Amino acid sequence: MAAQVVVVGSCMTDLVSLTTRLPKAGETVLGHKFFIGFGGKGANQCVQSARLGANTSLICKVGKDSFGNDYVENLKKNGISTGQNVIVIVPGANLLLNFEDLKRASDVICKAKVLVCQLEITPAVSLEALKMARASGVKTLFNPAPALADLDPQFYIYSDIFCCNETEAEILTGIPVGNLEDAEKVGRMLLERGCKLVIVTLGAEGCMMISVEEPIPKHVPAGKVRAVDTTGAGDSFVGALAFYLAYYPKLSMEEMIRKSNCIASVSVQASGTQSSYPYRKDLPQDLF
């Protein structure tokens, strides 16, 4: 069966040290815990979507080293199709994903229901993937992270859903986002640039959504939880949203965002990135 959610993006290995505070310049402090985790925005989003039950595929590059080997095994354990692994011997393998790789994966991209892209790989490659998907009628979900102030304007046009957080929104528009009203200003500006639907994630405050079809902004609040570690919560949200777009397309966008908020809220209640992402079996069934 063809992958319904396809992600073109990055894989990162997280080396995490926990300490009571950050050291000052030239200072050494003691850490009380160290762990290695799996991260990278593309892989995070793909893993969360897969854990909710999506048939997924990740188009990426990893290094030919222990980190790369471990990452491929991690993807397999999460039920993510990796196909034939393209392995290179360089630290920045993510940046070597190129147009030829996309051509080889064109069948996977064009048969998907949803394509997800970010900016941890070469931006031009992400843009080309969005164009390929659009040409085949595949819904495109773009997360402009890490944000670029000089983002190619074509990204706005080829993204069916443009999803950014407060920091990314400010970099893209110059508007600091401190409240819902600021997020609405960002949304309107991004619509003017060619976006069809904009979501600005607001952390514990949930999300703001605005679209060409529904130009009156809507606030979709998040449930109140005790956050332990918010790392990767945005990726959990994007991965969940991709899942709902692919498997529950008749839901309203507001309902998809509400459910995605719930899933991201679960992820912040545990430490780590992918290790905190919930599986479908552990979630309330009214989310499905």
CATH number at residue 181: 3.40.1190.20
Return the exposure string of 27-54: e unless at least 16 CB atoms fall within 10 Å of the residue's CB, then b: eeeeeeeeeebbbbbbbbbbbbbbbbeb
| Residue 157: inside a domain | yes
| Residue 282: inside a domain | no
β-pairing, 207-211 vs 218-220, is: antiparallel
| Residue 25: inside a domain | no
The pLDDT, as a whole number, for residue 84 is 64
| Residue 288: inside a domain | no
The pLDDT, as a whole number, for residue 86 is 56
Could you tell me the residue range of the domain that residue 256 belongs to? Answer: 5-15+35-277
Indicate the residue type of 119.
L
User: Mean pLDDT across the chain, nearest whole number?
Assistant: 94
CA atoms within 13 A of residue 242's CA, in its CB half-sphere = 40
Is pLDDT at 56 greater than 80 in this prediction? yes
| Residue 287: inside a domain | no
CA atoms within 13 A of residue 126's CA, in its CB half-sphere = 28
| Residue 78: inside a domain | yes
User: Coil, strand, or helix at residue 115?
Assistant: strand
Is pLDDT at 91 greater than 60 in this prediction? no
- Does 17 carry a binding-site annotation? no
Q: For residue 288, count other CB atoms closer than 10 A to its CB.
A: 13
The pLDDT, as a whole number, for residue 90 is 45
| Residue 23: inside a domain | no
What confidence tier does 113 reach under pLDDT thresholds 50, 70, 90? Answer: very high
Per the annotation, the verdict on 101 as an active-site residue is no
- Does 184 carry a binding-site annotation? no
The pLDDT, as a whole number, for residue 17 is 86
3-state helix, strand, coil in the chain (%, to 5): 40, 20, 40
- Does 101 carry a binding-site annotation? no
Indicate the residue type of 63.
G
| Residue 20: inside a domain | no
Percent of the chain exceeding pLDDT 90 equals: 87
* pTM of the model as a whole: 0.93
- Does 165 carry a binding-site annotation? yes
Number of domains in the chain: 1
- Does 41 carry a binding-site annotation? yes
Choosing from 107, 235, 282, 286, the catalytic residue is 235
Which DSSP category does 54 fall into? -
Residues 7-38: pLDDT tens digits? 999 999 988 888 898 889 899 999 999 989 99
The pLDDT, as a whole number, for residue 82 is 76
